[in-house]
Amino acid sequence: MTVYLRVTVFLAGFGVLGAEMVAPRLLAPAFGTSQLVWTNVIGAILAALTLGSWLGGRLADHRPSERSFGWILLLGGLAIAALPLAARPLLAGATRALVEQRVTSYLVSLAATSLLFAPPVLVLAAVTPYAIRLAGSGRLDLGRVAGVLSALGALGSIAGTFVTSLVLLPLLGSRNTLLAIGGLLASAGAVRALRRRGVIAVTLVLFVFGARYQGPIRSDPGQVFETESLYSYLQVQRDPAGWTRLLTNESVSYQSVWPDEGILTGGVWDYLALAPALADHSGAELRVLIVGLAAGTVARQIHAAYSPNSRVVIHGIELDPEVVEAGRRYFGLGSIPGLTTRIGDARVAVEALDGRFDAIVIDVFRGLYLPPHLVTREFFEACRRHLAPGGVLAMNVATPLDSGRLLGALAATLDRVFEHVRSMRLLSDGPVVSTIVFASEDPLEIPPSEEIPEALRSVGLDLQPVDVPRRHRRVLTDDHAPVEWLTDLALLEALRESR
């Protein structure tokens, strides 16, 4: 068993899991990072591993040579390096399909893009059985040989998982990570497949790929900034009117907006900013918790609207530090007086908080999906414990394509925790319909105009009971919160209606 076989089996395992870890990040700008995306990716890769192992064994018996073995590695590496280029048209088509509410095209694009990862994985899956055939030829300890090489492949997979996620993606981004992994595998294969000329040939091919990878991930009108964070793809746009907008992942809706003048956006943030006005607050200090701070639209609105009459103290929780950094650079987040920002998971941060708040604003999304652990009875109970007497919780609930399933489940869950729950549905002509849900231990009523800050008086409120069919009113718990399943059902319902 040569050192070359040992090393290349390890590298093949590294490449397979490295590609699997990058796949959702590559798909995130078009599809987000939901369970649906992971299911498609993992399913496609497992199917490719199964078929590739079978084909690799047959090919090894038919042509057991190290040069053929080298060609397998070379082709697998080049296929991984080419993935971002091959995915571009599908990703662009998927984004257009979702914005235009063509659900069939969106789901087909998701399946097709996931399948892009199958060919390179299929090729690399053939490496281990092929190596066993080469190393075990004429040996009586074939079991030990198979065990050693299988263990090296598994060890490479472990290394590919952690090194890709913790080192390569943060340093290189998804496109260059695939280029690096593909280049490493292709170079290892070229050593046997092309001999000395292989290094030069592979270097030239990878140089071409690398040149094509340079430039922006997207080139949307008005784009002034983009980056890949540990959690998502971020983009900042500025339109001719001077408005600045933050988008993440599939860019179906904006996460933060900064108008050219004033504080009103005409969007969901204006209604969330009214939450303190609904609270029974009479002290000199107004304390607000924002779960899902993003670039600070609501924080900026609340401070500007309420600070003339109260000392405003805002605690903002945001998962992604790159979002906060974009907020500081482009949205004036760092200039909001009285704002304390905490980076981390919202559930952990809320549980660790001290003190109570007059208003808690929740605006948390991962693409089309709400994080399951932030919509459960246990989470809302933690929020209630941090509400001051008379305090109000306000939550943005964006349901895809106007489905009542998710809204009903959230209403039922909030009903278990709070005495009073009301909602206001916002008009929308896009693929996402937003509803603001308010909850409190005290009755919720629209305050007189003079009690609403002057900057927000033009924002009309219409509080209504959440009226959804009983069959949709399931209580979400930490043990069972099928949020992504409910969202996917909405997409499937839209697909059925579009036929």
Is the predicted pLDDT of residue 317 greater than 90, yes or no?
yes
Alpha helices in 214-314, H assignment, sequence order: 268-272, 275-278, 297-306
Q: What one-character DSSP code corresponds to residue 141? A: -
**pLDDT grade for 138, boundaries at 50, 70 and 90:** low
Burial 120-134 (b: 16+ CB within 10 A, else e): bbbbbbbbbbbbbbb
> How confident is the model over 342-353, as pLDDT tens digits?
999 999 999 888
Helix axes 83-99, 66-81, angle to 10 degrees: 30
Q: Which two tokens stand for residue 422?
A: 């009301």
Q: What one-character DSSP code corresponds to residue 164? A: I
Within 10 angstroms of residue 334's Cβ, the number of other Cβ atoms is 13
Q: Which two tokens stand for residue 252?
A: 């179906």
Name which residue leads in pLDDT, 161 or 368: 161
Q: What one-character DSSP code corresponds to residue 464? A: B
Q: What is the mean pLDDT of residues 31-43?
A: 71
**pLDDT grade for 36, boundaries at 50, 70 and 90:** low
Name which residue leads in pLDDT, 25 or 310: 310
Name which residue leads in pLDDT, 24 or 416: 416
Q: What is the mean pLDDT of residues 393-413?
A: 81
Alpha helices in 321-376, H assignment, sequence order: 321-330, 346-352
**pLDDT grade for 95, boundaries at 50, 70 and 90:** low
> How confident is the model over 405-440, as pLDDT tens digits?
788 888 889 999 999 999 888 866 556 678 899 999
Is the predicted pLDDT of residue 490 greater than 80, yes or no?
no
Name which residue leads in pLDDT, 213 or 482: 482
Mean pLDDT score across all residues of the chain:
83
Lay out the sheet containing 432-440: strands in order across: 339-343, 311-318, 285-291, 357-362, 387-400, 432-440, 420-425
Is the predicted pLDDT of residue 473 greater than 90, yes or no?
no
Rounded Cα distance between 169 and 256, Å, is: 25
Q: Which two tokens stand for residue 193?
A: 């497949």
Is the predicted pLDDT of residue 172 greater than 70, yes or no?
yes
The phi, psi pair for 317, rounded to 5°, reads -115, 130
Within 10 angstroms of residue 248's Cβ, the number of other Cβ atoms is 28
Give the long-range contacts of residues 51-55, CB within 8 A, separation 24 or more.
Answer: 51/122, 51/125, 52/121, 52/122, 52/123, 52/124, 52/125, 52/126, 53/125, 53/126, 53/128, 53/129, 55/122, 55/126
**pLDDT grade for 128, boundaries at 50, 70 and 90:** very high
The phi, psi pair for 436, rounded to 5°, reads -95, 125
pLDDT at 306: 94
Rounded percentage of the chain residues whose pLDDT exceeds 90: 38
**Domains (ranges, CATH) in the chain?**
3-213 (1.20.1250), 263-498 (3.40.50.150)
Name which residue leads in pLDDT, 303 or 372: 303
The single residue listed with the structure tokens 């290349």 is 8
Is the predicted pLDDT of residue 99 greater than 60, yes or no?
no
Is the predicted pLDDT of residue 386 greater than 80, yes or no?
yes
Name which residue leads in pLDDT, 82 or 124: 124
Is the predicted pLDDT of residue 102 greater than 60, yes or no?
no
**pLDDT grade for 13, boundaries at 50, 70 and 90:** very high
pLDDT at 360: 97
pLDDT at 86: 76
The single residue listed with the structure tokens 């746009």 is 237
For the ranges 1-10, 11-20, 117-126, 250-259, the lowest mean pLDDT is seen at 250-259
Is the predicted pLDDT of residue 462 greater than 70, yes or no?
yes
Lay out the sheet containing 223-228: strands in order across: 223-228, 233-238, 244-248, 256-258
Q: Which two tokens stand for residue 401?
A: 């394509």
What is the number of alpha carbons within 13 Å of residue 52 lying toward its C-beta? 24
Is the predicted pLDDT of residue 382 greater than 70, yes or no?
yes
